[in-house]
Protein backbone atom coordinates (compact mmCIF):
# COMPACT_ATOMS: atom_id res chain seq x y z
CA UNK A 1 0.00 0.00 0.00
CA UNK A 2 1.58 3.30 -1.05
CA UNK A 3 0.70 6.28 1.09
CA UNK A 4 2.46 9.58 0.58
CA UNK A 5 3.73 10.63 4.00
CA UNK A 6 6.05 13.45 4.80
CA UNK A 7 9.76 12.84 4.88
CA UNK A 8 9.72 14.27 8.41
CA UNK A 9 7.59 11.44 9.74
CA UNK A 10 9.87 8.94 8.02
CA UNK A 11 12.93 10.53 9.59
CA UNK A 12 11.29 10.51 13.01
CA UNK A 13 11.01 6.77 12.75
CA UNK A 14 14.52 5.98 11.60
CA UNK A 15 16.64 8.57 13.38
CA UNK A 16 19.47 7.23 15.59
CA UNK A 17 19.08 3.63 14.45
CA UNK A 18 22.23 1.82 13.47
CA UNK A 19 21.56 1.08 9.83
CA UNK A 20 23.43 -0.20 6.81
CA UNK A 21 23.74 1.89 3.66
CA UNK A 22 22.99 0.85 0.10
CA UNK A 23 24.17 3.03 -2.77
CA UNK A 24 22.69 2.40 -6.19
CA UNK A 25 25.00 3.28 -9.09
CA UNK A 26 22.71 3.38 -12.14
CA UNK A 27 25.18 2.85 -14.99
CA UNK A 28 25.88 -0.14 -17.21
CA UNK A 29 27.85 -0.26 -20.43
CA UNK A 30 25.09 -2.33 -21.99
CA UNK A 31 22.01 -4.14 -20.74
CA UNK A 32 21.94 -7.87 -20.05
CA UNK A 33 18.97 -9.76 -21.45
CA UNK A 34 17.51 -10.87 -18.13
CA UNK A 35 18.06 -7.80 -15.96
CA UNK A 36 15.32 -5.61 -14.52
CA UNK A 37 17.49 -3.52 -12.18
CA UNK A 38 17.35 0.19 -12.81
CA UNK A 39 20.32 1.40 -14.83
CA UNK A 40 21.14 3.60 -17.80
CA UNK A 41 23.86 3.49 -20.44
CA UNK A 42 24.52 7.25 -20.08
CA UNK A 43 28.06 8.59 -20.38
CA UNK A 44 30.63 10.45 -18.34
CA UNK A 45 28.79 13.75 -17.88
CA UNK A 46 25.85 11.93 -16.29
CA UNK A 47 28.22 10.04 -14.03
CA UNK A 48 29.65 13.35 -12.80
CA UNK A 49 26.17 14.76 -12.19
CA UNK A 50 25.19 11.55 -10.40
CA UNK A 51 28.10 11.71 -7.94
CA UNK A 52 27.31 15.37 -7.15
CA UNK A 53 23.64 14.50 -6.59
CA UNK A 54 24.63 11.54 -4.43
CA UNK A 55 26.72 13.83 -2.23
CA UNK A 56 23.67 16.10 -1.80
CA UNK A 57 21.43 13.17 -0.95
CA UNK A 58 23.90 11.82 1.60
CA UNK A 59 24.20 15.18 3.33
CA UNK A 60 20.44 15.67 3.43
CA UNK A 61 19.57 12.15 4.61
CA UNK A 62 22.43 11.14 6.87
CA UNK A 63 20.35 11.80 9.99
CA UNK A 64 18.00 8.97 9.01
CA UNK A 65 20.44 6.49 10.55
CA UNK A 66 23.11 6.75 13.18
CA UNK A 67 25.78 8.12 10.86
CA UNK A 68 28.53 7.69 13.46
CA UNK A 69 28.63 3.88 13.49
CA UNK A 70 27.47 2.50 10.16
CA UNK A 71 27.81 -1.30 10.20
CA UNK A 72 27.73 -1.99 6.45
CA UNK A 73 27.85 -0.32 3.07
CA UNK A 74 26.88 -2.03 -0.16
CA UNK A 75 27.60 -0.25 -3.43
CA UNK A 76 25.56 -1.97 -6.10
CA UNK A 77 23.75 -1.19 -9.30
CA UNK A 78 23.94 -1.05 -12.16
CA UNK A 79 27.67 -1.41 -12.37
CA UNK A 80 29.67 0.60 -9.81
CA UNK A 81 32.90 -0.43 -11.55
CA UNK A 82 31.71 1.61 -14.55
CA UNK A 83 32.53 4.78 -12.61
CA UNK A 84 35.98 6.06 -13.54
CA UNK A 85 38.54 5.90 -10.72
CA UNK A 86 38.39 9.67 -10.15
CA UNK A 87 34.62 9.57 -9.62
CA UNK A 88 34.88 6.52 -7.37
CA UNK A 89 37.32 8.53 -5.24
CA UNK A 90 34.94 11.47 -5.23
CA UNK A 91 32.10 9.20 -4.17
CA UNK A 92 34.10 7.81 -1.25
CA UNK A 93 35.10 11.31 -0.21
CA UNK A 94 31.42 12.25 -0.13
CA UNK A 95 30.63 9.11 1.86
CA UNK A 96 33.33 10.03 4.40
CA UNK A 97 31.88 13.55 4.74
CA UNK A 98 28.52 12.13 5.81
CA UNK A 99 29.17 8.80 7.50
CA UNK A 100 31.62 7.09 9.83
CA UNK A 101 31.84 3.33 9.71
CA UNK A 102 32.02 0.89 12.60
CA UNK A 103 35.51 -0.57 12.95
CA UNK A 104 34.42 -3.97 11.66
CA UNK A 105 32.06 -2.61 8.98
CA UNK A 106 31.57 -4.68 5.85
CA UNK A 107 32.05 -2.50 2.78
CA UNK A 108 31.15 -4.19 -0.48
CA UNK A 109 31.37 -3.04 -4.06
CA UNK A 110 29.89 -4.82 -7.05
CA UNK A 111 32.17 -5.14 -10.06
CA UNK A 112 31.91 -6.52 -13.56
CA UNK A 113 34.78 -8.91 -14.40
CA UNK A 114 35.93 -7.01 -17.47
CA UNK A 115 36.19 -3.74 -15.51
CA UNK A 116 38.73 -5.28 -13.15
CA UNK A 117 42.10 -3.78 -14.03
CA UNK A 118 45.17 -2.95 -11.92
CA UNK A 119 44.01 0.69 -12.14
CA UNK A 120 40.58 -0.10 -10.65
CA UNK A 121 42.20 -2.14 -7.88
CA UNK A 122 44.67 0.64 -7.17
CA UNK A 123 41.73 3.03 -6.81
CA UNK A 124 39.88 0.63 -4.51
CA UNK A 125 42.97 0.40 -2.32
CA UNK A 126 42.44 4.06 -1.47
CA UNK A 127 38.92 3.34 -0.24
CA UNK A 128 37.64 1.34 2.75
CA UNK A 129 36.22 -1.39 0.46
CA UNK A 130 36.88 -4.81 2.02
CA UNK A 131 34.54 -7.08 0.09
CA UNK A 132 34.06 -7.67 -3.63
CA UNK A 133 30.89 -8.95 -5.26
CA UNK A 134 31.33 -9.99 -8.87
CA UNK A 135 28.60 -10.94 -11.34
CA UNK A 136 30.06 -13.95 -13.14
CA UNK A 137 26.67 -15.61 -13.86
CA UNK A 138 28.22 -18.54 -15.75
CA UNK A 139 31.63 -19.72 -16.95
CA UNK A 140 30.16 -20.76 -20.31
CA UNK A 141 31.23 -18.23 -22.95
CA UNK A 142 28.37 -19.37 -25.17
CA UNK A 143 25.81 -18.55 -22.46
CA UNK A 144 27.56 -15.30 -21.51
CA UNK A 145 27.27 -14.14 -25.12
CA UNK A 146 23.63 -15.18 -25.22
CA UNK A 147 22.92 -13.15 -22.06
CA UNK A 148 24.61 -10.10 -23.62
CA UNK A 149 27.17 -10.06 -20.80
CA UNK A 150 30.32 -8.09 -21.58
CA UNK A 151 32.87 -10.45 -20.08
CA UNK A 152 34.27 -13.87 -20.89
CA UNK A 153 34.96 -16.76 -18.58
CA UNK A 154 38.72 -16.06 -18.84
CA UNK A 155 38.13 -12.44 -17.73
CA UNK A 156 36.21 -13.63 -14.68
CA UNK A 157 39.08 -15.92 -13.66
CA UNK A 158 41.59 -13.16 -14.30
CA UNK A 159 39.56 -10.73 -12.16
CA UNK A 160 39.56 -13.13 -9.21
CA UNK A 161 43.32 -13.59 -9.63
CA UNK A 162 43.96 -9.83 -9.74
CA UNK A 163 41.91 -9.21 -6.61
CA UNK A 164 43.68 -11.97 -4.72
CA UNK A 165 47.09 -10.70 -5.75
CA UNK A 166 46.02 -7.37 -4.28
CA UNK A 167 44.93 -9.09 -1.03
CA UNK A 168 41.20 -8.84 -1.60
CA UNK A 169 40.18 -12.30 -0.47
CA UNK A 170 36.65 -11.57 0.71
CA UNK A 171 35.11 -12.23 -2.69
CA UNK A 172 31.56 -13.22 -3.55
CA UNK A 173 30.63 -14.54 -6.99
CA UNK A 174 27.13 -14.59 -8.50
CA UNK A 175 25.89 -17.43 -10.67
CA UNK A 176 22.57 -18.01 -12.41
CA UNK A 177 21.10 -21.43 -13.13
CA UNK A 178 18.24 -22.50 -15.35
CA UNK A 179 19.51 -20.40 -18.26
CA UNK A 180 17.86 -21.15 -21.63
CA UNK A 181 19.55 -24.19 -23.10
CA UNK A 182 21.91 -24.61 -20.12
CA UNK A 183 22.72 -28.27 -19.56
CA UNK A 184 23.26 -29.92 -16.20
CA UNK A 185 26.94 -30.41 -17.08
CA UNK A 186 27.37 -26.71 -17.86
CA UNK A 187 25.86 -25.84 -14.47
CA UNK A 188 27.97 -28.49 -12.72
CA UNK A 189 31.04 -26.90 -14.29
CA UNK A 190 29.96 -23.43 -13.04
CA UNK A 191 29.55 -24.64 -9.45
CA UNK A 192 32.77 -26.69 -9.58
CA UNK A 193 34.68 -23.65 -10.86
CA UNK A 194 33.50 -21.50 -7.95
CA UNK A 195 34.24 -24.21 -5.40
CA UNK A 196 37.67 -24.87 -6.92
CA UNK A 197 38.45 -21.16 -6.86
CA UNK A 198 37.82 -21.33 -3.13
CA UNK A 199 36.05 -17.97 -2.87
CA UNK A 200 34.31 -17.64 0.49
CA UNK A 201 30.86 -16.63 -0.77
CA UNK A 202 28.54 -17.65 -3.57
CA UNK A 203 25.13 -16.25 -4.52
CA UNK A 204 23.31 -18.56 -6.93
CA UNK A 205 19.96 -17.53 -8.35
CA UNK A 206 17.42 -19.35 -10.47
CA UNK A 207 16.82 -17.39 -13.65
CA UNK A 208 13.58 -15.48 -13.50
CA UNK A 209 11.85 -13.98 -16.51
CA UNK A 210 11.03 -10.48 -15.29
CA UNK A 211 8.42 -8.53 -17.18
CA UNK A 212 9.88 -5.74 -19.29
CA UNK A 213 13.18 -7.51 -19.92
CA UNK A 214 14.39 -8.59 -23.34
CA UNK A 215 14.45 -12.18 -22.13
CA UNK A 216 10.81 -12.05 -21.07
CA UNK A 217 9.91 -10.84 -24.56
CA UNK A 218 11.88 -13.72 -26.08
CA UNK A 219 9.94 -16.13 -23.88
CA UNK A 220 6.61 -14.64 -24.89
CA UNK A 221 7.57 -14.83 -28.56
CA UNK A 222 8.64 -18.43 -28.18
CA UNK A 223 12.34 -17.88 -28.89
CA UNK A 224 13.35 -19.47 -25.59
CA UNK A 225 11.71 -21.98 -23.29
CA UNK A 226 11.84 -22.15 -19.51
CA UNK A 227 14.04 -24.80 -17.94
CA UNK A 228 11.94 -27.78 -16.83
CA UNK A 229 11.40 -27.90 -13.04
CA UNK A 230 13.07 -31.28 -12.79
CA UNK A 231 16.32 -30.00 -14.32
CA UNK A 232 16.23 -26.85 -12.14
CA UNK A 233 15.87 -29.01 -9.03
CA UNK A 234 18.68 -31.26 -10.18
CA UNK A 235 20.88 -28.17 -10.62
CA UNK A 236 19.92 -26.77 -7.23
CA UNK A 237 20.45 -30.14 -5.56
CA UNK A 238 23.96 -30.33 -7.01
CA UNK A 239 24.64 -26.77 -5.84
CA UNK A 240 23.61 -27.64 -2.27
CA UNK A 241 25.63 -30.86 -2.16
CA UNK A 242 28.78 -29.45 -3.73
CA UNK A 243 28.87 -26.33 -1.55
CA UNK A 244 28.19 -28.40 1.58
CA UNK A 245 31.09 -30.73 0.67
CA UNK A 246 33.26 -27.61 0.33
CA UNK A 247 32.36 -26.54 3.87
CA UNK A 248 30.07 -23.69 2.82
CA UNK A 249 26.98 -22.98 4.89
CA UNK A 250 23.69 -22.66 3.05
CA UNK A 251 22.58 -19.66 5.08
CA UNK A 252 19.89 -18.30 2.75
CA UNK A 253 18.01 -19.94 -0.12
CA UNK A 254 20.35 -18.42 -2.73
CA UNK A 255 23.45 -17.80 -0.61
CA UNK A 256 26.34 -19.96 0.52
CA UNK A 257 29.38 -18.96 2.56
CA UNK A 258 32.23 -20.44 4.49
CA UNK A 259 31.60 -19.86 8.22
CA UNK A 260 32.06 -16.24 9.18
CA UNK A 261 31.79 -14.94 5.61
CA UNK A 262 28.04 -14.52 5.33
CA UNK A 263 27.08 -11.21 3.71
CA UNK A 264 26.52 -8.86 6.66
CA UNK A 265 24.75 -6.24 4.61
CA UNK A 266 22.33 -8.55 2.83
CA UNK A 267 21.62 -10.31 6.12
CA UNK A 268 20.22 -7.00 7.34
CA UNK A 269 17.55 -7.21 4.61
CA UNK A 270 16.61 -10.72 5.70
CA UNK A 271 16.49 -10.05 9.44
CA UNK A 272 14.46 -6.86 9.18
CA UNK A 273 17.15 -4.36 10.22
CA UNK A 274 16.99 -0.74 9.03
CA UNK A 275 18.93 0.46 6.04
CA UNK A 276 19.32 3.68 4.13
CA UNK A 277 19.15 3.44 0.33
CA UNK A 278 20.77 6.22 -1.71
CA UNK A 279 20.70 6.82 -5.44
CA UNK A 280 17.92 6.53 -8.04
CA UNK A 281 15.81 3.45 -7.47
CA UNK A 282 17.31 2.72 -4.04
CA UNK A 283 15.07 1.46 -1.23
CA UNK A 284 15.22 2.36 2.45
CA UNK A 285 13.59 0.72 5.45
CA UNK A 286 13.15 1.99 8.99
CA UNK A 287 13.23 -1.49 10.57
CA UNK A 288 9.57 -1.19 11.57
CA UNK A 289 6.87 -0.33 9.10
CA UNK A 290 8.08 2.37 6.73
CA UNK A 291 9.69 1.81 3.38
CA UNK A 292 10.89 4.45 0.99
CA UNK A 293 11.89 4.03 -2.63
CA UNK A 294 13.65 6.68 -4.67
CA UNK A 295 12.17 7.14 -8.13
CA UNK A 296 13.88 5.22 -10.90
CA UNK A 297 14.91 8.28 -12.86
CA UNK A 298 18.48 9.51 -13.09
CA UNK A 299 17.24 12.75 -14.64
CA UNK A 300 14.92 13.51 -11.71
CA UNK A 301 17.68 12.48 -9.33
CA UNK A 302 20.33 14.86 -10.62
CA UNK A 303 17.83 17.72 -10.99
CA UNK A 304 16.49 17.45 -7.42
CA UNK A 305 17.46 20.49 -5.40
CA UNK A 306 15.83 19.39 -2.15
CA UNK A 307 14.60 15.90 -1.32
CA UNK A 308 15.09 13.30 -4.04
CA UNK A 309 11.75 12.32 -5.68
CA UNK A 310 10.53 9.19 -3.91
CA UNK A 311 7.57 7.24 -2.64
CA UNK A 312 6.97 6.22 0.93
CA UNK A 313 5.05 3.13 1.87
CA UNK A 314 3.56 2.41 5.28
CA UNK A 315 3.23 -1.30 5.84
CA UNK A 316 0.04 -2.53 7.48
CA UNK A 317 0.50 -5.15 10.24
CA UNK A 318 -0.50 -7.83 7.71
CA UNK A 319 2.00 -6.62 5.11
CA UNK A 320 4.66 -6.50 7.81
CA UNK A 321 3.79 -10.07 8.82
CA UNK A 322 4.02 -11.23 5.18
CA UNK A 323 7.44 -9.62 4.86
CA UNK A 324 8.73 -11.22 8.04
CA UNK A 325 7.53 -14.65 6.89
CA UNK A 326 8.93 -14.20 3.40
CA UNK A 327 12.37 -12.94 4.42
CA UNK A 328 13.00 -14.99 7.56
CA UNK A 329 11.92 -18.30 6.06
CA UNK A 330 14.47 -17.82 3.29
CA UNK A 331 17.24 -17.97 5.86
CA UNK A 332 18.85 -20.98 7.44
CA UNK A 333 18.20 -19.52 10.89
CA UNK A 334 14.47 -19.54 10.08
CA UNK A 335 11.48 -17.64 11.39
CA UNK A 336 11.59 -16.94 15.15
CA UNK A 337 7.94 -17.04 16.16
CA UNK A 338 8.71 -14.62 18.99
CA UNK A 339 8.88 -11.72 16.52
CA UNK A 340 5.18 -12.18 15.68
CA UNK A 341 2.20 -10.88 17.64
CA UNK A 342 0.11 -13.49 19.47
CA UNK A 343 -2.54 -13.36 16.75
CA UNK A 344 0.02 -13.64 13.92
CA UNK A 345 1.75 -16.51 15.67
CA UNK A 346 -1.50 -18.47 15.96
CA UNK A 347 -2.26 -17.85 12.28
CA UNK A 348 1.27 -18.77 11.23
CA UNK A 349 1.29 -22.06 13.14
CA UNK A 350 -2.13 -22.97 11.82
CA UNK A 351 -0.99 -22.42 8.22
CA UNK A 352 2.34 -24.13 8.87
CA UNK A 353 0.86 -27.31 10.33
CA UNK A 354 0.27 -29.22 7.06
CA UNK A 355 3.81 -28.36 5.96
CA UNK A 356 5.26 -29.51 9.28
CA UNK A 357 3.35 -32.79 8.87
CA UNK A 358 4.51 -33.34 5.27
CA UNK A 359 8.12 -32.45 6.13
CA UNK A 360 8.49 -29.18 4.22
CA UNK A 361 8.87 -27.22 7.45
CA UNK A 362 10.66 -28.10 10.66
CA UNK A 363 9.70 -26.60 14.02
CA UNK A 364 12.49 -26.44 16.55
CA UNK A 365 11.31 -24.81 19.76
CA UNK A 366 10.14 -21.37 18.76
CA UNK A 367 11.69 -21.39 15.29
CA UNK A 368 10.18 -22.52 11.98
CA UNK A 369 12.61 -23.50 9.26
CA UNK A 370 12.38 -24.91 5.75
CA UNK A 371 13.63 -28.50 5.49
CA UNK A 372 15.88 -29.48 2.58
CA UNK A 373 12.81 -30.86 0.85
CA UNK A 374 10.88 -27.66 1.69
CA UNK A 375 13.54 -25.49 0.03
CA UNK A 376 12.56 -26.98 -3.35
CA UNK A 377 8.97 -25.84 -2.87
CA UNK A 378 9.78 -22.75 -0.81
CA UNK A 379 7.66 -20.38 -2.89
CA UNK A 380 4.46 -22.30 -2.30
CA UNK A 381 5.24 -23.02 1.38
CA UNK A 382 5.97 -19.36 2.08
CA UNK A 383 2.92 -18.15 0.21
CA UNK A 384 0.73 -20.59 2.16
CA UNK A 385 1.91 -18.97 5.41
CA UNK A 386 1.21 -15.45 4.21
CA UNK A 387 -2.07 -13.57 4.70
S1 LIG B 1 22.94 -7.60 -14.80
FE2 LIG B 1 24.30 -6.02 -13.99
S3 LIG B 1 25.55 -5.41 -15.76
FE4 LIG B 1 23.79 -6.49 -16.59
S5 LIG B 1 22.29 -4.88 -17.05
FE6 LIG B 1 21.85 -5.63 -14.98
S7 LIG B 1 22.93 -4.28 -13.60
FE8 LIG B 1 23.81 -3.99 -15.67
pLDDT in tens, 162-189: 999 999 999 999 999 999 999 999 999 9
Task: Report percent pLDDT > 90 for the chain.
Answer: 93
Single out the residue of 326, 335, 279, 341 nearest to residue 304, CA to CA. Answer: 279
**Would the CB of 31 count as within 6 Å of ligand 1?**
yes
C-beta separation of 230 from 203 below 8 A? no
CB 335 within 8 A of CB 362: no
CB 140 within 8 A of CB 189: yes
All CATH 3.80.30.20 domain ranges of the chain, comma separated, are: 7-270
Q: How far apart are CA 203 and CA 263, in angstroms?
A: 10
pLDDT value at residue 76: 97
The alpha carbon of 6 and the centre of ligand 1 are apart by a number of angstroms equal to 33
Q: Which atom belonging to ligand 1 lies closest to the Cα atom of 137?
A: 1
pLDDT at 338: 94
Residue 333 confidence (pLDDT)? 92
- Determine the number of helices (DSSP H) and then strands (DSSP E) in the chain: 15, 15
Ligand 1: does its nearest atom lie under 6 Å from the Cβ of 134?
Answer: no
Consecutive H or E run containing 192 = helix 184-197
Pair 201, 257: CB distance under 8 Å:
yes
- Give the long-range contacts of residues 184-193, CB within 8 A, separation 24 or more: 184/231, 184/234, 184/235, 184/238, 186/138, 186/140, 186/143, 187/235, 187/238, 187/239, 188/238, 189/139, 189/140, 190/138, 190/139, 190/140, 191/238, 191/239, 191/242, 191/243, 192/242, 193/139
Tell me what pLDDT residue 16 has: 52
Q: Which residues of the chain have pLDDT under 50?
A: 1-15
| Residue 35, ligand 1, Cβ within 6 A | yes
Ligand 1 near 205 CB (within 6 A)? no
Cβ(135) – ligand 1 distance below 6 Å: yes
Residues 152-174, buried b or exposed e (16+ Cβ, 10 A)? ebebbebbbebbeebebebbbbb
Is-contact 203 136, C-beta < 8 A? no
Per the DSSP assignment, residues forming a β-bridge with 9 are none
Nearest to 201 by CA among 101, 100, 133: 133
Q: Whose CA is nearest to atom 7 of ligand 1?
A: 78
Say what the pLDDT of residue 3 is.
35
Name the CATH code of domain 7-270 (choices 3.30.1490.190, 1.10.287.610, 3.90.550.10, 3.80.30.20): 3.80.30.20
| C-beta of 28 in contact with ligand 1 (< 6 A) | yes
Amino acid sequence: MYIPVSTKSYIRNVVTKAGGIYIHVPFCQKRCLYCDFYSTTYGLEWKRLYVSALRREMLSRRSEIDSSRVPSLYIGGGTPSQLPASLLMEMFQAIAESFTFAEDAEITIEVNPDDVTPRLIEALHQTPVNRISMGVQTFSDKLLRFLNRRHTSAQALQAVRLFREANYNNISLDLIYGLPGQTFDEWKNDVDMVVNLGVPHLSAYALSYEEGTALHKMLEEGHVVETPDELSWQMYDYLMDKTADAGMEHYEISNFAIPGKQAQHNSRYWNGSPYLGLGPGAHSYDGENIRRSNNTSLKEYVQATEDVPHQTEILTPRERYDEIVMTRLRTFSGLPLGVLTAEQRTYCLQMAEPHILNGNLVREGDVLRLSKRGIFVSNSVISDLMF
